[in-house]
């Protein structure tokens, strides 16, 4: 039994390995280990040390062999769901290898061990096909967890809601580890072609800055002129993507014009409409190495359909993104239309209004005229691309309480 347990990590922590500090990952690992140690204090069975690559791999060790052995022998797997997780080829391989072991147990015994335990570390736009059959939402963890993920709870409330959820997770791990023994997969090689999982391979992902997404926040003919006797308007159309603030100079909508400019520069471009999922779309674009450009109609920024999403964007610093708010001829000078324009955009982007005045190319570009749009778009994309290259992943966060030691 001692030999068997020494080869069976109590859990394997599967996560996307970003560049930069992993202090929060290590903190969660330590807290979960400590909770498990407390739960098992009254048992005498040896405790297989949980596996975290940055702590478990030894200097000089073959990293693929070490990871493969751990995934093939661990009792449970805790998967930290993030947008990056589902874009990681290697995370997909870890996920598939353990899911195959669970499937073997079900086929042989009919038992569902539920030993692959998903944790919503950060909000995810969607779980890819092939992994979406695994339930990851948990009402016992509360609305804050479902909305923001466990990582933010660790930062904002490490001694409260975060701690309660870690205790519940420890109970899940304990039940799966003690009541079921997943068949061991000896000789597992995560780098083998047949080990590929349901997530995209590295060759499928774009190089940072080579793809762009245009996100449009604009009114339609119906929402801009709901009571007009003549619903036709040169600025608006049937969809937000039809918006054309520079109709006197360009016949095509602004999003189409921007897309053509970027495609001429060699970028692959897609167009979407801003929604209440804007933050998740921006996180996904960043994880995929895509530059994000918001094209915002000033008057639409005050509409309920866009207001909350744009205000949230104003509060967050999304690497690899820039917002452009065009200004028609009626928005210049000292006219009442001009004053209304500036009051509206100031209300939509109050923080960037205040902080961007001294920057040569701030996160939000206001008052953009037709003659300046083309050159500004290229400059904005270049800046956003540079942000993608320099982004270091997780920010270092000052810990309010020290992590508890892991069990040995």
Question: How do the pLDDT tens digits run along the chain, 408 residues long?
Answer: 233 334 688 899 999 876 445 788 999 999 999 999 888 876 655 557 888 876 766 555 667 888 888 999 999 999 999 877 887 888 889 999 999 999 999 999 888 889 999 999 988 877 877 788 888 888 889 889 988 899 989 988 888 899 999 999 999 999 999 888 889 999 899 888 888 888 764 444 445 557 889 999 999 988 886 644 445 567 899 999 999 998 888 788 999 999 988 887 778 899 999 998 898 888 878 777 788 999 999 889 888 889 889 988 888 877 788 899 998 655 444 555 677 878 888 888 888 777 654 454 567 888 888 888 887 888 888 877 777 766 534 333 333 344 444 443
Report the phi/psi class of residue 401: left, alpha or beta, with left for phi > 0 and alpha for psi in -120 to 50. Answer: beta
**Rg for the chain, CA atoms, rounded:** 25
For residue 380, give the H/E element and its range.
helix 370-390
Distance between CA atoms of residues 374 and 174, nearest Å = 58
Q: What is the pTM of this model?
A: 0.52
DSSP letter (8 states) at residue 59: T
CA distance 267 to 262: 6
Long-range contacts of 253-259 (CB under 8 A, 24+ apart): 254/216, 254/295, 254/326, 254/373, 255/214, 255/216, 255/295, 258/214, 258/293, 258/295, 258/377, 259/214
CA dihedral 248, 226, 242, 277 (to 10 degrees): 130
**Can you tell me the distance from the alpha carbon of 279 to that of 318, in angstroms, rounded to the nearest whole number?**
8
Closest of 295, 311, 278 to residue 376, by C-alpha: 295
- 89: closest CA among 192, 240, 216? 192
Q: Quick one: which of 271, 237, 246 has its CA closest to 256?
A: 271
CA distances, 284 to each of 167, 352, 362 (Å): 30, 22, 22
> Computed from CA positions of residues 248, 252, 257, 263, in that sequence, does the dihedral angle turn out positive or negative?
negative
Contact yes or no for 18/391 (Cβ under 8 A) = no
Largest CA distance in the chain: 83
Tokens of 383: 């800046």
Residue with tokens 């997770």: 169
The structural domains of the chain, ordered by start, are 2-199 (3.40.50.10140), 211-390 (no CATH)
């Amino acid at each position: 039994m001692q030999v068997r347990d020494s080869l069976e990590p109590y859990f394997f922590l599967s996560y996307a390995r970003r560049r930069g500090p992993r202090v929060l990952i290590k903190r969660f690992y330590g807290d979960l280990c400590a909770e498990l140690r407390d739960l098992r204090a009254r048992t005498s069975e040896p405790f297989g040390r949980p596996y975290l690559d940055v702590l478990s791999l030894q200097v000089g060790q073959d990293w693929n062999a070490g990871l493969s052995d751990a995934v093939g022998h661990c009792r449970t797997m805790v998967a930290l769901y993030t947008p990056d997780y589902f874009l990681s080829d290697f995370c997909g391989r870890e996920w598939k290898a353990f899911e195959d072991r669970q499937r073997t147990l079900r086929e042989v015994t009919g038992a569902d061990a539920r030993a692959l335990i998903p944790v919503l570390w950060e909000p995810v736009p969607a779980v890819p096909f092939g992994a979406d059959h695994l339930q990851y939402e948990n009402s016992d963890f509360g609305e804050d967890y479902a909305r923001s993920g466990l990582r933010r709870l660790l930062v904002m409330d490490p001694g409260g809601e975060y701690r309660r959820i870690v205790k519940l997770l420890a109970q899940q791990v304990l039940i799966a580890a003690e009541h079921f023994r997943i068949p061991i997969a000896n000789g597992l090689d995560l780098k083998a072609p047949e080990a590929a999982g349901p997530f995209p391979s590295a060759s499928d992902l774009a190089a940072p800055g080579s793809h762009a997404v245009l996100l449009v926040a604009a009114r339609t003919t119906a929402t801009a002129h709901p009571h007009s006797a003549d619903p036709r308007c040169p600025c608006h159309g049937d969809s937000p993507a039809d918006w054309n603030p520079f109709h006197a100079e360009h016949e095509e909508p602004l999003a189409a014009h921007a897309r053509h400019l970027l495609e001429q520069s060699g970028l692959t471009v897609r167009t979407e409409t801003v929604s209440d999922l804007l933050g998740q779309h921006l996180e996904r674009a960043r994880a995929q190495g895509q530059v994000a450009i918001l094209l915002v109609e000033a008057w639409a920024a005050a509409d309920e359909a866009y207001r909350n999403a744009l205000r949230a964007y104003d509060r967050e610093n999304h690497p690899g993104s820039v917002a452009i708010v065009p200004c028609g001829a009626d928005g210049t000078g000292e006219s009442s239309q001009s004053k209304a324009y500036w009051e509206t955009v100031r209300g939509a982007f109050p923080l960037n209004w205040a902080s961007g005045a001294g920057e040569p190319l701030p996160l939000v570009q206001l008052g953009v005229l037709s003659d300046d749009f083309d050159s500004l778009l290229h400059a904005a994309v270049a800046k956003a691309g540079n942000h993608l290259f320099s982004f270091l992943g997780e920010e270092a966060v000052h810990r309010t309480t020290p992590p508890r030691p892991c069990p040995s």
